[in-house]
Structure 1
């Protein structure tokens, strides 16, 4: 074990938050108590022909040239998958990095570059406290009936095959904001608040929660399960995977790559950006229309199942890039939920009245609420990293 493990509180210095994507590095200097960002930036299309950096080390150098380290007390790293090793935010140590390396196969688009950045920063700034904040941590205490798959028991016991979820940092932030708003507006409501959180972006997932505690989520062992996404397939019959692996010219790695990078919206219509897909659909493109219809249908099927599990829905939250910015997707999704008492205010849906990152999309006198909430993973990561304490 490292000898850098003693702790003292961090309550006054900013957190440098690093959010590593499959081809990007987002960074922000966050005041963890207020959420204020004194600096933020993005290095995009890393490693691509027209990219802003040839690799992640070069991207880090660009970031370091911009950030004022004099106010930074710690670093918070966003990590997509923590597996069973990391059920909570964890201090960066050499042992933690070694364990993290074993999880690369569970989120092959995100974990390897995130780990590389964590390791590089740890070696570059060994005296600066750092924490890993995991998307899966929010779901660490899901009930067993929600996490287990109906597969041989030794798959679970020996190989950790179970549901871990993803986007937990975003879901937890959005759900807590919704709970705070509902408590102000309906303080005398009886029973647990039943909330569906829809994180809709390049990656998409849905979480059902009771009073902020998750009871189920759509992503599973990896971020490939669930509803269709920008380039990921979401749920698919495993038999189709085995069938493709047996075809000439195909193997497990090639099939996995196709399901991660060439499926979802891209597989259905050739584009992965919902803005482009909506524009094509508006112009009458049948493939783009199919992609949108498929996306919405899969969302609705998942939401309907969760409505049954919770015995109803009190609030639906749209967050992330598509959820926050696409009136069309919100309208299409909500069209099938009128029978549960949800009435979307179309004026608010088209032009939300944002107040402190929250927009109500239903009339205030309705007991069922729909919110658009601007997720702030940077703030959430900063707070979580601060809670770990200082490593000295």
Structure 2
């Protein structure tokens, strides 16, 4: 029996998201989420996608090991158990791979040690990723486990874009540089945008705007990232749901000296109490738009600041690329908030950018153009699929080329 399935795991500090995919046709066999791990009110929600009803457990789940064992039981109930010979690999999202990891990598002790060494530059993410990996390896020690790094797509940036203008020795000693994040999304979306335009990825220059609660922009030239907005951590760049994005570094010193705030307090302020929620008390763009429609001035200002930062990055990355074939929106806000897309492109007609109001208002799960036919630069919406990207990269690494498509009933439910 040919093994064609990949289980994708995204382990957070108190959650595990998972999807089981069949690489013959990229179909999903099951999806699920375990959340509030370690709390009394833990929850596991499991959805089989080829028949059967969603199932939910509400009970204490002590740790990631117990969570993954519970996931294995749910999958087995649908005939999709972790012991199946059809399972080719487990693909893990790992947030920070530093400069060392530029490609998906089969996990061994050396890989685990390097991911652990990077914890100081990803203290919220890499420990949780490691916990998920080690638990999965204990459950299936015979199965290839693959790490797919959020930072890998951005390792093609030239040093002129990745290095900060600080003392070189200090930067090198402490591994300080621009790494970038959301790499699996930027890789997937830039490639899909080229397909949408009917071109090869190496012939297309794209500005990708990944707009969710976390948000990042990238400049992609011929399928390779040449600049991105997030930096040493996911804090830099665009205005986000709870993160400030770009600020003068001296703000931190000012708050510590004049505001008597500790380093930890400033960290919490910039990462969890800033961005949209800091500006207007909401980080849900739908709620912000509702408040704007009711005349709320704080919501209007937050929206305007958010859009202003977007425009700055579109213009900056247009200059970096020199020629732009498409600007593409993706992720929760990018895919669903037509007013954000319209406002971000408004006034950029001299750059060849414009949005068709009718096309922009259409809601769809499919990649689509929202610019008029005459536009010099395409504007597109391309739904991201980070899990599929992780599955494809994992399968290609351990099994080689993805097998020819074999459609079957319900494959794309």
Deviation at 1:117, TM superposition (A): 1.0
- Please show how residues 14-93 of structure 1 align to structure 2 within 5 Å: 14-21=5-12, 23-46=14-37, 52=43, 55-67=63-75, 68=80, 69=82, 70=84, 71-93=86-108
1:364 to 373, 376, 397: 373
Residue 171, structure 1, aligned to residue 186, structure 2: yes
- Worse-matched range after superposition: 317-326 or 285-294: 285-294
Match of 2:47 in 1: none
Q: Deviations over 1:330-356 (max 9, x none)?
A: 1111113222222211111111455xx
Match of 2:314 in 1: 303
Deviation at 1:47, TM superposition (A): 5.4
Q: Deviations over 1:219-259 (max 9, x none)?
A: 11111111111111111111111222335652222221221
For structure 2, the 5+ residue unaligned runs are 44-60, 400-413
Q: Deviations over 1:62-85 (max 9, x none)?
A: 322222222322100011111123
Quote the Cα distance in structure 1 between the aligned partners of 2:107 and 2:68. Answer: 18
Quote the Cα distance in structure 2 between the aligned partners of 1:80 and 1:266. Answer: 24
Deviation at 1:31, TM superposition (A): 2.0
Match of 1:382 in 2: 391
After superposition, the Cα gap between the structure-2 partners of 1:297 and 1:48, relative to the gap in structure 1 and judged at 3 Å, is farther
Deviation at 1:95, TM superposition (A): 2.2
Q: Deviations over 1:64-119 (max 9, x none)?
A: 22222223221000111111232221111122112211222323332221221112
Quote the Cα distance in structure 2 between the aligned partners of 1:271 and 1:47. Answer: 27
SS in 1 for 2:208: strand
Residues 331 and 383 of structure 2 are in contact (CA less than 8 Å); yes or no, is this contact kept in structure 1? yes
Quote the Cα distance in structure 2 between the aligned partners of 1:142 and 1:361. Answer: 29
1:125 to 111, 125, 140: 140
1:196 to 207, 213, 216: 207
2:246 to 235, 239, 247: 235
After superposition, the Cα gap between the structure-2 partners of 1:219 and 1:48, relative to the gap in structure 1 and judged at 3 Å, is farther
TM-score (norm 2): 0.84
After superposition, the Cα gap between the structure-2 partners of 1:145 and 1:57, relative to the gap in structure 1 and judged at 3 Å, is same
Deviation at 1:21, TM superposition (A): 3.9
- Worse-matched range after superposition: 284-293 or 229-238: 284-293
After superposition, the Cα gap between the structure-2 partners of 1:121 and 1:353, relative to the gap in structure 1 and judged at 3 Å, is closer
Residues 11 and 386 of structure 1 are in contact (CA less than 8 Å); yes or no, is this contact kept in structure 2? no
Deviation at 1:55, TM superposition (A): 4.7
SS in 2 for 1:389: helix
Residues 107 and 223 of structure 1 are in contact (CA less than 8 Å); yes or no, is this contact kept in structure 2? no
Segments ≥4 residues shifted beyond 4 Å: 45-51
Residues 86 and 134 of structure 1 are in contact (CA less than 8 Å); yes or no, is this contact kept in structure 2? yes
Match of 2:336 in 1: 325
Residues 196 and 368 of structure 2 are in contact (CA less than 8 Å); yes or no, is this contact kept in structure 1? no
For structure 1, the 5+ residue unaligned runs are 1-9
Quote the Cα distance in structure 2 between the aligned partners of 1:348 and 1:24. Answer: 37
